[in-house]
């Protein structure tokens, strides 16, 4: 069983029996929080999937708290600019970070990185669309096993997209190569959208790409999905097998994200935010909008989420070392 699936199962069992028994009510907390506007910093461009998912949640948190919750985009330096702004903010819960895989990976790639998971208190996971393993529609392969067989016949010849060192797409490709015993030629891009045309025209043979970007092209017949890099099939594409079902269970890589506060934030404030986040994520409106994005959420809160982030550090430290991955 892969680490992601094991963590999710443990959390699900630990949370069994916990449910809403009444209307959406805020948990008891010190009267000081929230005492003013809450700022949530997203270290990615506005309008992207992370930004959209964050706004779905924060609009309900604002209603619940009776205070404005502002989402502010601060992209740059692979997440470090936004993260550093939260790291140095007063630890009172009024400035939060939407952190993701970069928190665990950046310090492993850059020994001079200003931020690490120890600079933050984990609150809870949000949700993200998982990645799909895709090939061009003109590709001769129709299954992941067939792609691996082709790659073994042509070592180092097949081109795969790399939208950024340390991204879930890049690391997913690296761990898939290791598990499958293949050697792909990684071609660098600045993000995912720029490599989509090269999949269409055959310059790329393979990619890990978010379902949010791939869905339209799969339905139009321009891309062929081979597997979903998650532990469960997607509601919108139930015919696509998981990587485990396709024979490569270690290649499940979820591009997770979640809420973090500066280290030192009082425990009652963290508990308040975590409890209210959990309530919001269970709302039918939120679940419906998540389904529309194919977003999945591990449903981890505080200690469980912190353990998950720690397990991600351990996992990617090993992969980065074994694959000899260097920063850009």
Evaluate whether 147 touches 226 at the Cβ level (below 8 Å).
Answer: yes
pLDDT tens figures, 103-116? 999 999 998 888 99
Across 162-175, average pLDDT? 95
Domain at 54, CATH number = 3.40.190.150
The pLDDT score that the predictor gives to residue 29 is: 47
**Residue 8 forms part of a structural domain:** yes
Q: Do 307 and 270 fall into the same domain?
A: yes
> What's phi and psi for 287, nearest 5 deg?
-65, -40
Q: Do 114 and 155 fall into the same domain?
A: no
**Residue 267 forms part of a structural domain:** yes
What's the CA dihedral at 146, 237, 295, 316 to 10 degrees?
-10
Which among 233, 205, 200, 212 is positioned nearest to 295, based on CA atoms? 212
**Residue 328 forms part of a structural domain:** no
Question: What's the whole-number average pLDDT of the chain?
Answer: 91
DSSP 242: B
Q: Structural domain tally of the chain?
A: 2
Structure tokens at 25: 């009510």
Domain at 220, CATH number = 3.40.190.10
Which among 48, 114, 123, 41 is positioned nearest to 80, based on CA atoms? 114
Residue with tokens 């506007």: 37
**Residue 167 forms part of a structural domain:** yes
pLDDT tens figures, 8-50? 444 444 443 333 333 444 444 455 799 999 999 999 989 989 9
**Residue 327 forms part of a structural domain:** no
**Residue 109 forms part of a structural domain:** yes
Q: Do 46 and 183 fall into the same domain?
A: no
SS3 at position 6: helix
- Tell me which residue range forms the domain holding 296: 3-128+256-322
CA distance 171 to 130: 13
Evaluate whether 174 touches 317 at the Cβ level (below 8 Å).
Answer: no
> What's phi and psi for 96, nearest 5 deg?
-120, 160
The pLDDT score that the predictor gives to residue 5 is: 46
- 76: which residues sit within 8 A by CB, 6+ positions away? 43, 82
**Residue 190 forms part of a structural domain:** yes
CA distance 83 to 102: 10
Across 130-135, average pLDDT? 98
Across 114-139, average pLDDT? 96
CA distance 217 to 125: 29
Q: Do 10 and 80 fall into the same domain?
A: yes
This prediction's pTM: 0.85
Picking from 251, 271, 293, the residue at the C-terminal end of a domain is 251
SS3 at position 316: helix
Q: Do 49 and 76 fall into the same domain?
A: yes
Q: Do 25 and 91 fall into the same domain?
A: yes
Q: Do 27 and 69 fall into the same domain?
A: yes
DSSP 309: H
Residue with tokens 């997607």: 234
DSSP string for 209-240: EEHHHHHHHHHTTSEEEEEESSSS--SS-TTS
Among the ranges given (6-15, 98-107, 210-219, 317-326), the one the predictor scored with the smallest mean pLDDT: 6-15
State how far the alpha carbon of 30 is from the alpha carbons of 93, 209, 224, in Å: 12, 43, 52
* pLDDT bucket at 298, cuts 50 / 70 / 90: confident
SS3 at position 188: strand
Q: Do 116 and 262 fall into the same domain?
A: yes
Q: How many helices and strands, by DSSP H and E, does the chain display?
A: 11, 10
Q: Do 118 and 182 fall into the same domain?
A: no
Q: Do 7 and 120 fall into the same domain?
A: yes
Picking from 223, 251, 279, the residue at the C-terminal end of a domain is 251
Residue with tokens 């949010």: 212
pLDDT tens figures, 239-282? 999 999 999 999 999 899 999 999 999 999 999 999 999 999 99
**Residue 49 forms part of a structural domain:** yes
Structure tokens at 232: 């469960």
The pLDDT score that the predictor gives to residue 31 is: 52
Q: Do 284 and 200 fall into the same domain?
A: no
Picking from 228, 251, 274, the residue at the C-terminal end of a domain is 251
H helix or E strand, kind and range, residue 96: strand 95-100
Q: Do 268 and 243 fall into the same domain?
A: no
């Amino acid at each position: 069983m892969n680490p992601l699936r094991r963590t999710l199962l443990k959390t699900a069992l630990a949370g069994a029996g916990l449910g809403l028994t009444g209307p959406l009510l805020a948990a008891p907390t010190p009267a000081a929080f929230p005492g003013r506007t809450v700022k949530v910093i997203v270290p990615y461009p506005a309008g992207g999937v992370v930004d959209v998912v964050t706004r779905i949640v924060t609009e309900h948190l604002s209603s619940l708290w009776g205070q404005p919750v502002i989402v502010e985009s601060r992209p740059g330096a692979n997440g470090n600019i936004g993260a550093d702004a939260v790291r140095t903010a007063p630890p009172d819960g009024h400035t939060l970070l939407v952190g993701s895989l970069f928190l665990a990976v950046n310090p492993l790639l850059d020994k001079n990185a200003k931020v690490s998971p120890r600079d933050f208190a984990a609150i809870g996971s949000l949700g993200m669309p998982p990645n799909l393993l895709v090939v061009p529609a003109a590709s001769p392969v129709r299954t992941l096993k067939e792609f691996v067989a082709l790659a073994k016949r042509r070592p180092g010849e097949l081109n795969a997209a790399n939208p950024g060192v340390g991204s879930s797409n890049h690391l997913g490709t690296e761990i898939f190569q290791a598990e499958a015993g293949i050697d792909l030629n990684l071609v660098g891009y600045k993000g995912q959208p720029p490599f989509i045309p090269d999949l269409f025209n055959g310059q790329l043979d393979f990619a890990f790409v978010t379902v949010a970007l791939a869905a339209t092209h799969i339905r139009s017949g321009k891309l062929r999905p081979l597997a979903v890099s998650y532990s469960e099939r997607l509601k919108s594409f139930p015919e696509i097998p998981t990587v485990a079902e396709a024979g490569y269970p270690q290649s499940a890589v979820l591009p997770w994200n979640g809420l973090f506060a500066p280290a030192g934030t009082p425990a009652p404030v963290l508990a308040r935010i975590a409890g209210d986040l959990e309530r919001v994520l269970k709302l039918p409106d939120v679940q419906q909008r998540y389904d529309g994005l194919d977003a999945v959420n591990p449903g981890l809160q505080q200690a469980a989420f912190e353990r998950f982030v720690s397990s991600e550090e351990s996992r990617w430290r090993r992969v980065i070392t074994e694959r000899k991955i260097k920063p850009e």
